[in-house]
Chain A
């Protein structure tokens, strides 16, 4: 079945450094790739998303890149701050299949 692999499972960076989280998907028909942030004890919330007709999208300090040929996409956070510490999930979905497939999550720790 469809699968989304996410790496690394944990990531520690110094405040001000960049963080990169990578995901690989299996279904070549996937066309929507969102990223969610989940703070401790809270619900997941969307931070950025990208569709298959776009290679890169940026929103202030966060950006997502998509490589359809290799079937992988990445989240980039620049100038990390302590409030960026959370668990980040990638996901992939395909129109018409009605299923979102989530990665297993990355726990990001930003050290002050």
Chain B
């Protein structure tokens, strides 16, 4: 099992550009989520999904979109990048919210 995979590992964007961060899991987990990690602020939930076709907002959703067309994939789209979106992004999956979350290796994004 590859677990949770993310691409790319690093990305530099200019303000206003858009891009998609990819996330995939091979554990057949229904619950998937995206977090951003900033110094001193822990892990903040951006969006989450409880199954294919179902997504919802977390605590910091502005500027991001998600979709869940399959159980395996949960891409995160930045619509118009801003310097405030410079962060490390982690995707995670689990059997449910009261179970262990398995994190991907992260994507370090810099917006200039």
Contact = CB atoms under 8 A, between A and B. Distances in A.
B103 A105 contact: no
11 contacts: A32-B98, A34-B100, A44-B43, A44-B90, A44-B101, A46-B101, A93-B97, A93-B98, A98-B48, A98-B50, A101-B45
Given A34-B100, A43-B106, 18 more contacts: A6-B42, A43-B90, A43-B103, A43-B104, A43-B105, A44-B43, A44-B101, A44-B103, A46-B101, A89-B42, A94-B97, A95-B96, A98-B48, A98-B97, A99-B48, A102-B35, A102-B43, A105-B42
A69 interface: no
Interface of B: 31, 33, 35, 40-45, 48, 50, 56, 58-59, 90, 96-101, 103-106
A95 B43 contact: no
Given A44-B103, A105-B42, A51 B90 contact: no
Given A43-B90, A43-B106, A100 B100 contact: no
A41 to B, nearest CB: 9
Interface string A33-45: 0100000001111
Interface size class of A (residues with CB under 8 A): 20 to 34
Q: Most chain-B Cβ atoms within 10 A of its Cβ — which of A6, A9, A31, A93?
A: A93
Contact of B98 (A95, A102, A104): A95
Interface of A: 1, 6, 9, 31-32, 34, 42-46, 49, 51, 89, 93-95, 97-105
A104 B42 contact: yes
Nearest to B3: A43
Nearest to A104: B42
A99 B100 contact: no
A51 B100 CA distance: 12
Contacts of A34: 100-101
